């Protein structure tokens, strides 16, 4: 090649690319010429910088060899990508083989910081409450430790910030007239920088109405009273008014648990169809449209 010549029978050279060498041997008047092609495999091996993880986390290490070859980690793994979860600081060695018996070696250190686990406990201990009821959530860190250096972030449905302490109190509200689910996410960060996340899904029950169309106040203990009837959830009656077919008011009450027993002015009201008007509110204080309908009294 250009720049290289030697009269030695066994010369040495260090080419940086594939090179063709020609040798000419002369004996008397006889000359012979031969060539040899020396293939140079220009490969490099790169690993990421040393990694720091928290206990229980997984470190993903990706090796990048520039030529087709094979990998052998000190763990025995033979893939370019190594996933490990050590409990102590660990060095991982790699041998990269390529070309015709060529090898490169490198190593990476994975350092481990003490981690923690996180869960959410609630008071009351349930995942289903009525709309407007108070509810407490608390993050519990294990192993138990001083939380003064911890940072907390509560999110509702992963977006709305709710608080930055380990415990929060909430009263779910809604603009929708339906039972719904809400997810509370807690993100905790330790002084070491280790981070964990937990979540809790709560079902909030909207008071669903199922008003009867008849009742039988005959004293048998079955269907004797007319009241605001809910399939689920609770609510507060603000007022209840009952009118007969001629528009005369036969019953009125502002008792939050108002019920009509089928009497008017101390006497049994006759079997007939009556009109009710119930004004009520949800337990979160939201006023609801009045319930207006008819109820048949049967004797």
What single string gives the DSSP state of each residue in 180-212? EEEEEEEEEE-TTS-EEEEEEEEEEE--EE---
What's residue 196's pLDDT? 95
- Let me know whether 2 and 81 are in one domain: no
- Let me know whether 127 and 195 are in one domain: yes
Q: Degrees (nearest 5) of the Cα angle 282, 285, 287? A: 65
C-alpha 138: how far from its chain's center? Answer: 17
Count structural domains, the chain. 4
Helix and strand counts by DSSP (H, E) for the chain: 0, 29
pLDDT band per the 50, 70, 90 thresholds, residue 17: confident
Instruction: Find the largest Cα–Cα distance for the chain.
Output: 147
pLDDT band per the 50, 70, 90 thresholds, residue 3: confident
- Let me know whether 227 and 212 are in one domain: yes
Q: What is the CATH number of the domain that holds 266?
A: 2.60.40.1220
Both tokens of residue 130?
């009525």
Of the residues 161, 185, 205, which one is the last residue of a structural domain? 205
pLDDT per position as a tens digit, 48-77: 999 999 998 999 999 999 999 999 999 999
Structural domain span for residue 256? 208-297
- The residues that bridge with 226 in the sheet, in sequence order, are 260
What's residue 185's pLDDT? 97
251, burial (CB in 10 Å: exposed 0-12, middle 13-18, buried 19+): buried
Q: Which of 47-56, 130-139, 199-208, 280-289 is predicted least confidently?
A: 280-289
Is 253 in contact with 277 (CB distance < 8 Å)? no
Q: Degrees (nearest 5) of the Cα angle 56, 79, 17? A: 135
- Let me know whether 279 and 219 are in one domain: yes
- Let me know whether 56 and 94 are in one domain: yes
Q: What is the pTM of this model?
A: 0.58
Query: CA 264, CA 245: separation in Å to the nearest integer?
Result: 14
Both tokens of residue 123?
């008071």
Q: Which of 136-140, 163-167, 204-208 is predicted least confidently?
A: 204-208
- Let me know whether 231 and 263 are in one domain: yes
- Among 12-16, 73-77, 169-173, 175-179, which range has the highest average pLDDT? 73-77
- Let me know whether 56 and 98 are in one domain: yes
pLDDT band per the 50, 70, 90 thresholds, residue 234: confident
pLDDT reading at 178 higher than 80: no
User: Quick one: average pLDDT of 35-52?
Assistant: 93
Of the residues 113, 139, 156, which one is the last residue of a structural domain? 113
Q: Degrees (nearest 5) of the Cα angle 58, 192, 147? A: 115
Nearest Cα to Cα of residue 70 among 105, 93, 95, 42: 95
pLDDT band per the 50, 70, 90 thresholds, residue 299: confident
> Which residues lie closer than 8 Å to 274 by C-beta, 6 or more apart?
242, 243, 244, 245, 250, 294, 295, 296, 297
What's residue 269's pLDDT? 96
What's residue 261's pLDDT? 96
How distant, in Å, are the alpha carbons of 66, 69, 75, 150, 253 from that of 45?
A: 7, 11, 18, 40, 85
pLDDT per position as a tens digit, 94-146: 999 998 889 999 999 999 999 899 999 999 998 988 888 899 999 999 988 88
Of the residues 173, 205, 237, which one is the last residue of a structural domain? 205
User: Quick one: average pLDDT of 245-255?
Assistant: 96
C-alpha 296: how far from its chain's center? Answer: 51
Mean pLDDT computed over every residue of the chain: 92
What's residue 148's pLDDT? 86
């Amino acid at each position: 090649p250009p720049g290289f010549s030697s009269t030695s029978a066994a010369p040495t050279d260090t080419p940086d690319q594939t090179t063709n060498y020609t040798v000419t041997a002369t004996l008397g008047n006889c000359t012979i010429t031969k060539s040899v092609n020396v293939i140079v495999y220009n490969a490099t091996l790169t690993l990421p910088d040393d990694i720091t993880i928290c206990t229980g986390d997984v470190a993903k290490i990706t090796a990048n060899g520039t030529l087709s070859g094979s990998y052998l980690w000190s763990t025995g793994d033979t893939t370019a990508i190594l996933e490990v979860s050590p409990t102590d600081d660990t060095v991982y060695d790699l041998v990269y083989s390529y070309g015709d018996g060529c090898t490169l070696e490198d190593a990476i250190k994975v350092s481990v910081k003490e981690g923690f686990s996180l869960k959410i406990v609630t008071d009351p201990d349930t995942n289903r409450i009525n709309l407007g009821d108070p509810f407490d959530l608390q993050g519990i860190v294990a192993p138990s430790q001083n939380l003064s250096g911890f940072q907390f972030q509560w999110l509702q449905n992963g977006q709305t910030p709710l608080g930055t302490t380990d415990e929060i109190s909430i009263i779910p509200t809604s603009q929708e007239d339906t039972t719904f689910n809400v997810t509370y996410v807690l993100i905790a960060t330790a002084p070491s920088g280790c981070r964990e996340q937990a979540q809790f899904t709560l079902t909030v029950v909207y008071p669903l109405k199922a008003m009867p169309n008849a009742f039988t106040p005959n004293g048998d203990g079955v269907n004797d009273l007319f009241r605001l009837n809910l399939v689920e959830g609770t609510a507060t009656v603000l007022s209840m008014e009952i009118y007969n077919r001629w528009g005369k008011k036969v019953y009125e009450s502002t008792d939050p648990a108002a019920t009509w027993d089928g009497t008017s002015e101390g006497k049994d009201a006759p079997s007939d169809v009556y009109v009710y008007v119930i004004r009520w509110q949800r337990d979160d204080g939201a006023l609801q449209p009045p319930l207006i309908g008819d109820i048949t009294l049967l004797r």
